[in-house]
Structure 1
Amino acid sequence: LLEQCEICAVPLPMDGLVCAQCFKQPPAFKHVIAPWTFSFPVDSLISRFKHQARWPFGHLLARLLAQHLQHRFDNAELPRPDCLLPVPMARKRQRERGFNQALMLARWLSHDLDIALDEHVLLRPQETVAQQALDAKQRKRNLLKAFAVAANAEVTGRHFALVDDVLTTGATAHSLA
């Protein structure tokens, strides 16, 4: 297991610390679970799942993540969320790719962990450019007003877990939270 910031999961020299960025400007979310760094072989599995529709790789990662989360739930290290919310994908990008990888991961996690999934709470009413080529400041600006909560969604007092495939700067998670 990695040593990482207690809030955003950025790698740190030891566990139990909060990074300077989260200390100075706490994000809107409470906690990130990122059991792996985006390096070989995980980066290769994610890229093949996401860009080549190699769904078994995504399913494998979801299974491993579910085991990691279940262990933390069982040991009372982590509170069980009421509901999983996949990060919504821009419509144009979803048409090009043919699927939303965050939704697929959320479905597999929901099944393996027996946690409700609601793919209609979060909306992406505004098209945005892909985040991959942007720096942290550009990512944050790119996501301004990109997301919304459905008008009929009941969110007050509920514990949600956002599901996405990759966390780089935390801009997506911050914007959604």
Structure 2
Amino acid sequence: MITDTIEKLVAKATQLVHLFNYCELCEQPIYQQVALCDHCVSLIPRFQLDSLSGDLLNRPEIYGLYSKCVFDHLIAISPYQYPMSDWLKQFKYLGRWQYQRLCCRVLNFHLNELLKLSDFCPPDIVMPVPIHINRWQHRGFNQTLPLARTVAKVFKVHCNADCLVRQNQTGSQAQASGQLRRKQLKNNFALLPNETSYETSNEVTGKRVKLEGMHVALVDDVVTTGATVSEISRLLKAANVAKVSVYCLALSL
């Protein structure tokens, strides 16, 4: 009898060990593989989007910086500073996947906070900003894709990663001016005509739905001058997309 009880306790303890992980920052036990606890996520420097209806363009000084951009809304979680800047570099340039988990966890947490706003308007479909095929082959991944999938999962909408392509490789734009970026990116993106519709996954599964009239969430890792997302937004609106909201993990000002 005592042996049976001990075996049950050991089995239960083993199950609990597998159920819990530890926060990457404070090392407190957390449920499943979420990388960070809610407390640590909430302490990461971020924009106060709840007072702006979720849209940074409602801040006059930020709207002034992007007033000539083509997108309709700008949703950025954090300024491009530590720890976010370091995590993105570790993931993007060094391929350290644990930092992808951290970035996606922060994004997931704050997007769920946005959903609590009564006047927040979620998108109809999500698209990651594409990278050139040569860079993809060199790096092995597109760093915006896991972020886009996180956005799509939170909003329960489709993520279309095949619709947009980057036609030319422009090289690093980290130190380029806004004017140079716009020049390099002009006509650098294209929509694949066979991918401008998608199949829904709800009660009308199998029906092809066109992008025309849709509210698109365009996802990037970092937005600086807005040249990349603005050029893609121009392309999408030429295809009769109704609205483009830019989502990024960090905004570099």
- The alignment's TM-score, normalised by the length of structure 1, stands at 0.85
Quick one: which amino acid aligns to residue 93 of structure 1? R
Which of 57, 73, 83 aligns to 2:115? It is 73
How far 1:157 sits from its partner (Å)? Answer: 0.5
Structure 2 CA distance for partners of 1:16 and 1:129, relative to 1, 3 Å: closer
Which of 140, 145, 151 aligns to 1:109? It is 151
**What SS does the aligned partner of 2:77 have?**
coil
Which residue matches 1:2? Answer: 47
Q: Would you say 1:160 and 2:216 are equivalent positions?
A: yes
More strand by share: 2
How far 1:22 sits from its partner (Å)? Answer: 3.8
- Would the aligned equivalents of 1:8 and 1:170 in 2 still touch at CA under 8 Å? no
Quick one: which amino acid aligns to residue 47 of structure 2? L
Which residue matches 2:5? Answer: none
Instruction: State the 4+ residue runs in structure 1 displaced beyond 3 angstroms.
Output: 6-10
Which residue matches 1:17? Answer: 60
How far 1:21 sits from its partner (Å)? Answer: 3.8
Quick one: which amino acid aligns to residue 67 of structure 1? F
Quick one: which amino acid aligns to residue 20 of structure 1? G
Task: Return 90-99 or 126-135, whichever deviates more.
Answer: 126-135
Structure 1 CA distance, aligned partners of 2:186 and 2:108?
31
Output the aligned Cα RMSD. Answer: 2.3
How far 1:39 sits from its partner (Å)? Answer: 0.8
Q: Would you say 1:35 and 2:69 are equivalent positions?
A: no
Which of 152, 160, 166 aligns to 1:118? It is 160
Question: Any stretches of 5+ residues in structure 2 without a counterpart?
Answer: 1-45, 197-209, 234-253
Quick one: which amino acid aligns to residue 103 of structure 2? L
How far 1:130 sits from its partner (Å)? Answer: 2.0
Which residue matches 1:53? Answer: 95
Task: Return 80-89 or 118-127, whichever deviates more.
Answer: 118-127
How far 1:138 sits from its partner (Å)? Answer: 0.7
Structure 1 CA distance, aligned partners of 2:169 and 2:136?
11
- The alignment's TM-score, normalised by the length of structure 2, stands at 0.61
| Paired residues, number | 170
Structure 2 CA distance, aligned partners of 1:70 and 1:39?
22
Question: Any stretches of 5+ residues in structure 1 without a counterpart?
Answer: none
**What SS does the aligned partner of 2:78 have?**
coil
